[in-house]
Each structure stands twice: as structure tokens, then as C-alpha cells.
Amino acid sequence: MNETAFSVLSNQRITEWFGQDTFYNIISVMVWFMLGIGIIGIIGNILTIIVYIKLGFSETIHMSYLALAVSDHCIIITTMWCSICYFPLIKMFLNRFQIATDVGLFANFTGVWPHFAFSKTTALITAWISLERCLCVVFPIKVKLLITRSVTKLVLLIIFVIGCGPVVFAYIGRKSEWRFDPLRNQTKFYIFGDGVKDLNLLNRFAFVLYGVVYPVFSWVSVIVCTSFLIIKLRRSATWRKQNINDSPIHRDQVHERRIFTRTSRVTKTVVIVAIIFIVCSFPISLNLFYSTFEREYSLNGNLRYLILLNASFILLLSEINSSVNIIVFSVMGTRFRSTLLEILCRK
């Protein structure tokens, strides 16, 4: 049996296992998880944005955390919309306005593609935060001259442009038209997508960016920077144990220890955020990478319901990743925690 025949046989077996009934049985349960986590995530990211605005931007990493919260907020909104698309109310809406399209394709057009754009933006921001923290560790004095507030604003603006901009290319060339249905005596608006083999150059460019370039760049950057930071944290902890003694310390030493403790806490926060990103984004990158090269693994292929099912789990993981940062910031940051408690107590 050659490789092509084996691939076709495997796809047929997978199609039998993950059919329409299996998909809708699982998605009906996952929808409620997405909505519940989404509500918590929206509240958390709004509070995160308010806290960092109140803390100010004397530290550039606060600007990066704020941008991360904004991108995460958009991820949660698009995820919740994708889950809402499978409610019967949406089917009634499509029928009411005579829009003839599959619910999964409608969710793909209106929610999944924007979700990919914001998820890659979050990945690039996470890579930037990791790189910024590495530079702070390597060049603790010069970094304030290199990474100023103006530079941080410019970098974050560029990240949002290159992260969200290519999603426009995914819509170019997609077909939609009005068709008359003689059986029902109605004219309906049809929305449909093309197969991978029919994609134009701009569509392919967007898929390559979101499926290969951005994931690989983000993954490599975050993994390298996080590994470096973990090594530095371990060395710093070892050095502190070796140099701690019971003799009295001077005021300058107290001040240095406070700065060291604060720097270590910020570094640990970045490491935790990066690790959560790596764990939750690996299935996203793997799914996009595989769909770029496997034609049947698409909305119009034989593995249609498998990709929809995997996409649902991926959206759930992405939503979790975008919802837990407020917990990390609260546990690791004393200023963040005190400001958050102050806001909550006032309300």
C-alpha cells in the first residue's frame, strides 16, 4: 500500500469516528464552558487594564502588560462569539435574513479568523515581553536608554499592525452571491469559502503568516528567552544563598536587596506568563501548521468535522490563556495586588 492510499484510508477512518453527530454532541457542552470562562476572562482583563492605567507607565513593562490585556480581551470576545454561533438563535437569524451558509463557515468568517489575528498578536506581545525582560537582565543599566516609553509604544503599535493586518488578506477573493431557489421561491444570500487549492496568493500569504511564520517566530523567541531567564533565576538564587549571613547589613545593602527582590519577582512573572503561553499555544500552532499542508484538513475537506472539533478545543485553550494572567499578576505583583484590592473595595 503506497503512502497516498494509506493517507486516504486513514482520513476515511477518522471521518467515521469524528462525524457530524460526534462533533455537535461535544460542541454543545464546550459552548457553555467557553461562555463561562469568557465572562470571567472579560472581567479579569478589564480589571487588569484599569489597574495598569492607574499604576501608570513609569515602567515600560506596564505598557506591554496593558497591550497584552487588550489583545487577550479581544481573543475572549471572538471566542465567545464563535461559541454563540452554534446557538439555535443564530440559525434562526440566518434563516430570517435569508443567509444560506453553514454555521461553522459563518463562525469561521466572523469569529475564527479575527481570533487567529488577535491570538498571533498576543503571541508576538508575549515574545516582546520575554525579550524585554532578557535585555533588562543582560543590560540592567543600558536597557532604560534602549527601551524607552516611546520605543515601547512604537514596538507595540507595529505588533498590532502586523498581527491583525494580514487577517484582511484571508477575506480577499472569498465568494458570496445572491441565488434564487425555485423550490422555495426565495432569493438567498450565499456565503461560501474555497478549498485550499483554490486560494489566491493573498490568502496563502495570510495562512503562511498565521500558520508558520508567526508561530515559529513567537515560539522560538519565547522558549529561548524563557530558558535564559530560568537559568538566570537559578543562578541568582544560588548566589543569594551563598552570600546570606547573619551579620548586620548596611542601608545600601538593604536597598540593593529590595531592588534585587523586585527584579526577580518581575522576571518570575514574565517566566510564568511565558510558560502558560507555551502550554496553551502549542496545539494552536500545531493545528495551523498541519492545516497549511494537508488539503483534506480544512472546512471543505474530508476531515471537516475533525478540524472543527480540534478548533473548538484550541479556542478553549486560547481563552484560558487569555483569562489567567490577572491571577499571575495578582500573586506575583504586590503593587498590582494592592491596587486591584483598592479598586474592588471602592466598588
Question: What are the pLDDT digits (tens) for 281-312?
Answer: 777 767 766 766 666 666 566 666 677 777 77
Residue linked to cell 489566491: 200
Contact of 225 with 133, CB cutoff 8 Å:
yes
Cell of 152: 515601547
Over the Cα atoms of the chain, what is R_g? 24
The model's pLDDT over 55-110, given as tens digits with 9 standing for 90+, comes to 988 888 999 999 999 999 999 999 888 777 766 556 665 655 555 555 666 777 77
Cell of 89: 438563535
Cβ neighbors of 218 (< 8 A, separation 6 or more) are 120, 123, 124, 126, 127, 281
Per-residue confidence (pLDDT) for residue 189, from 0 to 100: 60
Closest CA to 207 of 191, 195, 220, 222: 195
Distances from the Cα of 269 to the Cα of 18, 72, 333, angstroms: 40, 17, 8
Cell of 167: 487577517
Per-residue confidence (pLDDT) for residue 269, from 0 to 100: 87
Per-residue confidence (pLDDT) for residue 181, from 0 to 100: 64
Distances from the Cα of 240 to the Cα of 259, 264, 268, 333, angstroms: 13, 12, 16, 21
Where on the phi/psi map is residue 238: left (φ > 0), alpha (ψ -120 to 50), or beta? alpha
Per-residue confidence (pLDDT) for residue 188, from 0 to 100: 60
CA 69 to chain centre: 11
H-state helical runs in 56-87: 60-84
> How many Cα atoms occupy the beta-carbon half-sphere of 236 within 13 Å?
18
Closest CA to 45 of 332, 333, 319, 346: 319
Reported residue count of the chain is: 347
- Number of Cβ within a 10 Å radius of residue 78: 24
- How far apart CA 73 and CA 64 sit, in angstroms, is 14
- Which CATH fold topology does 16-169+203-237+250-346 show? Rhopdopsin 7-helix transmembrane proteins (1.20.1070)
Per-residue confidence (pLDDT) for residue 239, from 0 to 100: 61
Per-residue confidence (pLDDT) for residue 171, from 0 to 100: 77
- How far apart CA 318 and CA 310 sit, in angstroms, is 12
- How far apart CA 252 and CA 124 sit, in angstroms, is 38
At 124, the amino acid letter reads: L
Decide: helix, strand or coil at residue 139. coil
Per-residue confidence (pLDDT) for residue 67, from 0 to 100: 95
Low-confidence ranges of the chain (pLDDT < 50): 1-16, 194, 196-197, 246-247, 252, 255
Domain boundaries, the chain: 16-169+203-237+250-346
Residue linked to cell 483598592: 342
